[in-house]
Amino acid sequence: MLRNNNISSFTKKLEWDKIPKKHFWHRQLYVITAPFEYITEAGEKIEIEVGFVLDFASTPRVIRWLYPAIGWYAKAVAIHDKGYRDHNGKPKGWWDDIMVEAMKVIARNLTGKITKRYKRDIAIFYWAVDRFGEKAWNK
């Protein structure tokens, strides 16, 4: 635990590259190219190491036009992918909640508040991981 002042933040820029010709279930795979971290509202540090492979938002092809793998929410889904892969002693629901928390941080940074559009997107992402994330969690 680092701090408890109810301010969550991304402390480093998210940097990645495409992995050429590398796909998983028709989704492009990416690799993190610089250390990345997020501090939760509770003051816990979540780190993603260089070399971590992810697919960002695992959206079905039929809605990728609306929610592409890398969108405004990329940092939050990267943290979520890391949590689903490593668990770090936390339950699935904790990682789903951290994704929502991180998406709210991003939305506030983009617009100064959480607009209706961002509230909708956050609710859809939460519903999707809550409803369909179990398979990825159990890998």
pLDDT in tens, 77-110: 999 999 999 999 999 999 999 999 999 999 999 9
Instruction: Quote the pLDDT of residue 1.
Output: 41
Q: Which domain holds residue 25?
A: 9-137
Amino acid 3: pLDDT: 43
Model confidence at 27: pLDDT above 90: no
Name the residue with tokens 């002693």. Answer: 89
Query: 4 lies in a domain?
Result: no
Question: What is the average pLDDT score of the chain?
Answer: 91
Would you say 104 and 135 are in contact if contact means Cβ atoms under 8 Å apart? no
What pLDDT is attached to residue 62? 84
Number of structural domains (the chain) is: 1
Separation in Å, CA 23 to CA 31, 35, 53, 57, 67: 12, 23, 11, 13, 18
* Threshold 0.85, pTM exceeds: yes
Task: Take residue 135 and report the two structure tokens written for it.
Answer: 């398979």
Euclidean distance between CA atoms 43 and 11, whole angstroms:
12
Q: How confident is the model at residue 25 (pLDDT cuts 50, 70, 90)?
A: low
Distance of CA 55 to the CA centre of its chain: 10
Q: Is residue 3 part of a domain?
A: no
2 inside domain: no
